[in-house]
Structure 1
Amino acid sequence: MNLQNDLSTTQAVSRLRRAVLALVLPVAVLGAVSGCGDSSAPRTSHATGPAAPAPAASTTEAGPANPAPTAGQHMITNNGHRFAFYLTPGHSPAIVLDSGGGEDHTQWKDIVPQLSKATGSQIITYDRAGLGNSDEVKSPWDGRAAASDLQTGLRELGVTHNVILVSHSQAGEVATYFARANPGVLSGEVLVDANVPQFFTDTEIQRLVAVTAPHIETLKKQPSTQANRQLIATSENFGPTHQAYHKVSWPDSVPVTYIASEKTPFDGSPQDAQHWRDAAAAFVSAGPGRTLITATGSSHEIPQDKPQLVVDEIEKMVAALG
């Protein structure tokens, strides 16, 4: 192999590693793995909605649901941990926006006001464990636990039916477990270049683990920060967690629109990019009421690259519900 081919191979591997980390690990601290940026710097969290929120009183899992929650931030407790939910008032159906790996609710800050104006619906965003204003949970990533947090938060806010859930990237795992446990709550789902069970074959899991392992070992030797701990927690038990996820199916009663990026998370790695496309197509063909569209020209970050497309597809789903 000549020097030029060797260099091309090295660059391709680097692109693949970055793509894998962006998909399965928190993107907010990707700079720490790539050797750039300050992973210890705190993220600034801003609540979405028409007005700056005042934190509401905390509730507990066993507490009564609030039938008329106010706008702004609400702290919800589940399994001893507090999670921040942000509400923009409106009517049913409620639209719940769930961010990708490592992103807090501010990922949707430009989309929330557009959706509120276009639909008049109640809009809810939130911070998953360890992100934004939510407590850190010291355990490996678990989509089922994250779905439990979402379920508790919506119940405490009095949102128990006619929900449209919108999920980006890693949040696809949360959506799948949430839909399985709460099919009667959801009226529809918009998956935005999201993780689906079909992608996580044994072969692909082994490939992802092999690509990320050196970076995780490097992080374990660095000073402990919340960002680093989150990366490590996401990698822990990754194989068994996603082998289990691979076996989970989406309930046929919940219609889905899947928005696929043209470039996929694996731009620069044709093998993985094609597997990502095939998995999305297999998911859509696996049940009724599922639609696949492509965000032409978009990277994996569709909410930032093509926000109007996301808004349009959510509007279509709201309109279909009458």
Structure 2
Amino acid sequence: MTYIRPSRRLRRALPAIVLLIPAAGALAACDSAAAPPATSPASTAPTAGSGMQTIDNGGHRLAFYVTPGAAPAIVLDSGGGEDHTEWKDIVAKLHAATGSEIITYDRAGMGASDEVPGPWKVEDAVSDLTAGLTRLGVTGNVVLVSHSQAGEIATYFVRQNPRLVTGAVLVDANLPQFFTDDEIARLVAATKPQVDAAKAGPSTKESRQLIATAESFVATQHAYHHVAWPDAVPAVVMVSEKTPFDGSPEDVRRWHDAAKAFAAAGTGRTLVNADGSSHEVPADRPDLVLAEVEKMAAAGR
């Protein structure tokens, strides 16, 4: 089955799903068997200058893409519904500017990685990233760059591996402060029509991803709200101007307030505003992403 990336028009039409998924995907199945890995050249072609390595974790295969270089290793983790090609305009420039090893990957169900049945679990995503870096021989001095839903993965990953990560750049990322009980309820209500339609319609990769994430969303986000980022790991908190909720002033305010609260909650945190950007900061403001990652990498040397 070929994965077709959702159009920007679809993403704008479903702003709350940007948080559920966030840009339209997590993974899993509403049918009895997982679909085979995607084979579309558009979604599986390695980023220029990188080589794909297939890594097994718990019986499913994950595609990692490595551009060799020096320490610190820079790991780029895509937003929900995105594969490694989200960073295609950044990898070569980042490597040229830093000389660092650059690692991107396709999370389970994305790109060339296997689809895994069942509700989306952040613990599984953390396990996949940990397994990949371990098998690639990355044992320390990592700069983690995480967009959107990957912010949740980053938070749990850093808590489990505080000595592995020397710094993080959180790019308009899901942050614990945002997911209050009230906000979770708002998101569930806003996305219910799309989730119901996915359940009633044909089983596609996108619909399975939406259903899987929706099934675990309340419990996952409730738990995430109570998780703290370790003070020992510096973090740049980059927040977009328009946020995932352009057109919903109340949710825009809450998103910005969460970023401010996160930045103020610990030492070594810097708030950076991505002026003029939508939630798709890597595409809208690659210059800003590059600048902040370069600074974090220089501090990690």
Whole-angstrom CA distance in 1 between matches of 2:24 and 2:253: 25
SS of the aligned residue for 2:15 comes to: helix
Whole-angstrom CA distance in 1 between matches of 2:39 and 2:66: 27
Higher mean C-alpha deviation, range 244-253 or range 16-25: 16-25
**Any residues of structure 2 matched to 1:138-217 within 5 Å, and which?**
138-217=117-196
Whole-angstrom CA distance in 2 between matches of 1:72 and 1:100: 21
Aligned to 1:305: 284
Aligned to 1:130: 109
**Any residues of structure 2 matched to 1:95-110 within 5 Å, and which?**
95-110=74-89
Deviations 1:128-150, CA, capped at 9 Å, x for gaps: 01000001111212112101100
SS of the aligned residue for 1:19 comes to: coil
The AA in structure 2 aligned to 1:135 is D
Aligned to 1:27: 23
Aligned to 1:48: 47
Aligned to 2:212: 233
State the Cα distance separating 1:26 from its structure 2 match: 4.9
Q: Pick one of 66, 71, 92 that aligns with 1:92.
A: 71
The answer to whether 1:278 aligns with 2:274 is no
Q: Pick one of 220, 242, 260 that aligns with 2:221.
A: 242
Whole-angstrom CA distance in 1 between matches of 2:13 and 2:47: 32
Whole-angstrom CA distance in 2 between matches of 1:135 and 1:16: 28
The AA in structure 2 aligned to 1:225 is T
- Structure with the larger RCO, 1 or 2 (CA within 8 Å, 6+ apart): 2
SS of the aligned residue for 1:237 comes to: helix
- Identity of paired residues, percent? 60
Q: Pick one of 99, 114, 122 that aligns with 1:120.
A: 99
Whole-angstrom CA distance in 2 between matches of 1:240 and 1:28: 19
Going from structure 1 to structure 2, the CA distance change for 1:237 and 1:44 (only over 3 Å counts) comes to closer
Deviations 1:145-179, CA, capped at 9 Å, x for gaps: 10110001000000010000000000001000100
Going from structure 1 to structure 2, the CA distance change for 1:246 and 1:225 (only over 3 Å counts) comes to same
Whole-angstrom CA distance in 1 between matches of 2:124 and 2:159: 13
Going from structure 1 to structure 2, the CA distance change for 1:225 and 1:26 (only over 3 Å counts) comes to farther
State the Cα distance separating 1:180 from its structure 2 match: 0.7
Whole-angstrom CA distance in 1 between matches of 2:45 and 2:20: 25
The answer to whether 1:296 aligns with 2:275 is yes
CA contact (8 A) 1:48 1:88 kept: no
Gaps of 5+ in 1: 1-13, 30-39, 51-70
CA contact (8 A) 1:17 1:212 kept: no
Gaps of 5+ in 2: 1-9, 26-37
Whole-angstrom CA distance in 1 between matches of 2:279 and 2:23: 11
CA contact (8 A) 1:95 1:165 kept: yes
Q: TM-score, normalised by structure 1?
A: 0.83
Going from structure 1 to structure 2, the CA distance change for 1:105 and 1:16 (only over 3 Å counts) comes to closer
Whole-angstrom CA distance in 2 between matches of 1:268 and 1:199: 18
CA contact (8 A) 1:96 1:164 kept: yes
Consecutive aligned runs of 4 or more in structure 1 exceeding 4 Å deviation:
14-17, 40-43
Deviations 1:213-271, CA, capped at 9 Å, x for gaps: 11111111111112211111111121111101111111111000011101111111111
Larger-Rg structure: 1
CA contact (8 A) 2:20 2:217 kept: no
State the Cα distance separating 1:80 from its structure 2 match: 1.2
Query: How many residues were matched structurally?
Result: 280
